[in-house]
């Protein structure tokens, strides 16, 4: 009989073993072959916050919008090739509702690339020091891939504290390649989602590591990181519910202790300490959220103007609870079904470890409800439901717990390894085929898809085309990207106007 109070006894123990992390690192280095240094779509807005201030020393995005890909540039230019007047805000700036946080994370890599380009030009090189040339885009793409990998590494380390490292390793690799993450870690690196996965992963990991006792410096750091996390992606505010639950428990414990013969400091002292820590946290968060407020004050004339759909127009009374999960229009679970297992695992984790599992489950639920109320919940042009990439660390943890529970059903380690490998391999192959269909426009990049057509393609079309397109992607990528952009433009023209 298996002792269920211990970590998995099916997998061979690898606790305190660094080999899994080395294997993850080796896989990451190999995966850099997939890195695609282009700035496209939403990425134009994110990248503009990086390029314009460093290269042009302003928030003038005209060159960024003119240089953008056709599907981004087209709706913003008139018949004479001029930027449309309605793009101008009351301050005269071009509208840019995308967040500034990605630019903050990319900036060290971009500045290094800029220094290298300037040095090369001083030595006679003709590489343009304009922020658009290859060295800059490569730096951005590498930074995105690296941050995405760090999110996975943090997820692996967190999961390893609750299950065997084999379960954590398998779960990390599976979420890495069977979710929406690889699209935004490699194919669309100028979008914010892989970066958001990193900042959320570090926030939750740091919260978890310091939850028993947090020093003043740790409170300040947690607040500063919260500000950065919101700079990167606004929906990340939903994961702050872990702190709300923690605070409620702390204040409740303080009042309960005051009613007992507890020898600890009196209630006013305990409450004062808690309140001081929380105020310090909020102050640090506000300071580190200032880049967003300042940028919006300059661009819109109002620090609180987001540029997105007003909150009054959200679906508060009719959230699309089922569609977000199961719709053919980029449903989370219908497009990336491995997350079904991850959610089951999170439910198991909540039951087994409520002190941590409860706040984590609440974070997933709050994020889900928030997206279900968002008018553009499907993400428009999205692989799966891209918004949920932010929760990568929780999906890895949930899947690791699920795999650990699955392993306990087998009487031998070999049988468990074979079963898990086959199961995860099927999910990863399925995701690779669907990513190929989405990227090559075998299924629409925007709007709902036909599930029967998609399934037919998976078995009868993808196997014949995948190897040839992969070779083109690796060795003639620019040509392939042009074809993808042309296909995207055709699909946009075929769609009825909103």
The residues near 340 (Cβ < 8 Å, ≥ 6 apart) are 333
User: Would 123 be classed as within a structural domain?
Assistant: no
> What's the pLDDT at 33?
96
> What's the pLDDT at 71?
84
> What's the pLDDT at 354?
96
Q: Are 71 and 128 in contact (CB under 8 A)?
A: no
- Higher-confidence residue of 261 and 38: namely 38
What letter would DSSP give residue 388? G
Place of tokens 């006792």: 213
The residues near 462 (Cβ < 8 Å, ≥ 6 apart) are 433, 436, 437, 442
User: pLDDT tens-digit profile of 301-357?
Assistant: 999 999 999 999 999 999 999 999 999 999 999 999 999 999 999 999 999 999 999
Quick one: pLDDT band at residue 125, thresholds 50, 70, 90? very high
Output Rg (C-alpha) for the chain, integer angstroms.
Answer: 24
User: Would 189 be classed as within a structural domain?
Assistant: yes
SS3 at position 94? strand
What letter would DSSP give residue 381? B
Which of 98-107, 118-127, 465-474 comes out lowest in average pLDDT?
465-474
Instruction: Show the tokens assigned to 350.
Output: 């909540």
As a whole number, mean pLDDT of residues 19-31 equals 96
Quick one: pLDDT band at residue 5, thresholds 50, 70, 90? very low
Portion of the chain with pLDDT greater than 70, in percent = 93
Per-residue pLDDT at 423 exceeds 70:
yes
Q: How many CA atoms lie within 13 A of 361 on its CB side?
A: 16
> What's the pLDDT at 483?
78
CA distance 149 to 138: 16
Per-residue pLDDT at 447 exceeds 80:
yes
User: Would 280 be classed as within a structural domain?
Assistant: yes
CA distance 423 to 246: 36
> What's the pLDDT at 498?
46
Which residues pair with residue 446 across a beta bridge? 381
> What's the pLDDT at 2?
34
User: pLDDT tens-digit profile of 140-158?
Assistant: 999 999 999 999 999 999 9
As a whole number, mean pLDDT of residues 249-266 equals 70
User: Would 170 be classed as within a structural domain?
Assistant: yes
What letter would DSSP give residue 301? S
CA distance 227 to 245: 19
As a whole number, mean pLDDT of residues 459-483 equals 87
Q: Which domain holds residue 207?
A: 19-38+138-494
As a whole number, mean pLDDT of residues 352-370 equals 97
User: Would 409 be classed as within a structural domain?
Assistant: yes
- Higher-confidence residue of 14 and 369: namely 369
Nearest to 443 by CA among 323, 337, 330, 338: 330
User: Would 372 be classed as within a structural domain?
Assistant: yes
> What's the pLDDT at 11?
42
With the C-alpha atoms ordered 206, 210, 211, 215, is the resulting torsion angle positive or negative? negative
User: Would 131 be classed as within a structural domain?
Assistant: no
> What's the pLDDT at 267?
67
CA distance 155 to 149: 10
118, containing H or E segment: helix 101-122
Which of 15-29, 152-166, 189-203, 365-379 comes out lowest in average pLDDT?
15-29
**Number of structural domains found in the chain:** 1
Per-residue pLDDT at 262 exceeds 70:
no
CA distance 399 to 151: 15
As a whole number, mean pLDDT of residues 241-262 equals 82
CA distance 157 to 205: 9
CA distance 53 to 48: 8
Q: Are 113 and 139 in contact (CB under 8 A)?
A: yes
Nearest to 349 by CA among 397, 391, 420: 397
Which of 51-55, 69-73, 79-83, 483-487 comes out lowest in average pLDDT?
483-487
User: Would 439 be classed as within a structural domain?
Assistant: yes
Per-residue pLDDT at 3 exceeds 50:
no
CA distance 346 to 348: 5
CA distance 470 to 346: 35
> What's the pLDDT at 13?
46
Q: What's the chain's average pLDDT?
A: 92
Per-residue pLDDT at 496 exceeds 80:
no
Taking the chain, what is the end-to-end CA distance rounded to the nearest angstrom?
61
Quick one: pLDDT band at residue 474, thresholds 50, 70, 90? confident
The model carries a pTM of 0.94
CA distance 62 to 73: 11
CA distance 238 to 117: 40
What letter would DSSP give residue 13? P
CA distance 292 to 62: 20
Q: Are 29 and 50 in contact (CB under 8 A)?
A: no
Nearest to 380 by CA among 491, 473, 457: 491
């Amino acid at each position: 009989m298996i002792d269920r109070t211990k970590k998995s006894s099916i997998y061979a123990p690898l606790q305190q073993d660094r080999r899994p992390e080395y294997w993850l690192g080796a896989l990451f280095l190999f995966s850099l072959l997939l890195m695609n240094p282009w700035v496209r779509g939403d990425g134009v807005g994110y990248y503009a916050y990086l390029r314009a201030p460093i290269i042009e020393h302003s928030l003038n995005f005209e060159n960024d919008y003119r240089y953008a890909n056709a599907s981004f540039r087209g709706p913003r230019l008139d018949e004479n090739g001029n930027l449309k007047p309605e793009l101008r805000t009351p301050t005269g700036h071009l509208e840019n509702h995308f967040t500034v946080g990605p630019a903050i994370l990319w900036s060290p890599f971009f500045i290094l690339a800029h220094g290298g380009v300037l040095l090369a030009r001083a030595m006679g090189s003709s590489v343009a020091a304009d922020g658009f040339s290859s060295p800059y885009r490569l730096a951005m793409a590498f930074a995105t891939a690296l941050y995405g990998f760090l999110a996975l590494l943090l997820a692996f380390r967190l999961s390893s504290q609750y299950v065997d490292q084999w379960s954590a390793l398998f779960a990390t690799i599976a979420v890495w390649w069977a979710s929406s993450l690889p699209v935004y870690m490699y194919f669309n690196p100028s979008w914010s989602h892989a970066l958001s996965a990193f900042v959320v992963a570090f926030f939750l990991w740091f919260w978890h590591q310091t939850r028993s006792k947090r020093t003043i410096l740790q409170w300040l750091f947690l607040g500063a990181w919260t500000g950065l996390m919101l700079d990167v992606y606004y929906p990340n505010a939903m994961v702050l519910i872990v702190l709300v639950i923690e605070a409620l428990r702390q204040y409740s414990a303080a009042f309960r202790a005051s009613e007992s013969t507890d020898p600890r400091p009196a209630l006013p002292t305990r409450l004062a300490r808690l309140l001081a820590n929380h105020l310090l946290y909020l102050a640090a968060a506000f300071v580190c959220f200032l880049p967003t407020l300042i940028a919006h004050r300059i661009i819109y004339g109002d620090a609180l103007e987001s540029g997105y759909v007003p909150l009054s127009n959200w679906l508060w009374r009719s959230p699309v609870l089922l569609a977000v999960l199961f719709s053919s229009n980029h449903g989370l679970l219908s497009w990336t079904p491995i997350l079904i297992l991850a959610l089951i695992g999170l439910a198991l984790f909540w039951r087994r470890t409520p002190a941590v599992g409860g706040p984590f489950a609440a974070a997933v639920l709050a994020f889900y409800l928030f997206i279900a109320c968002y008018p553009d919940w499907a993400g428009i042009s999205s692989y799966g439901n891209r918004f949920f990439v932010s929760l990568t660390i929780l999906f890895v943890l949930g899947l690791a717990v699920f795999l650990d529970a699955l392993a306990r059903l087998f009487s031998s380690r070999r049988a468990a390894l074979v079963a898990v490998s086959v199961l995860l391999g099927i999910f990863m192959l399925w995701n690779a085929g669907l990513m190929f269909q989405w990227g090559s426009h075998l299924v629409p990049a925007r709007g709902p898809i036909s599930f029967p057509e998609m399934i037919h393609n998976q078995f009868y079309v993808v196997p014949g085309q995948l190897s040839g397109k992969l070779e083109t992607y690796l060795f003639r990528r620019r040509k392939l990207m042009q074809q993808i952009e042309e296909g995207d433009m055709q699909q946009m023209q075929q769609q009825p106007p909103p």
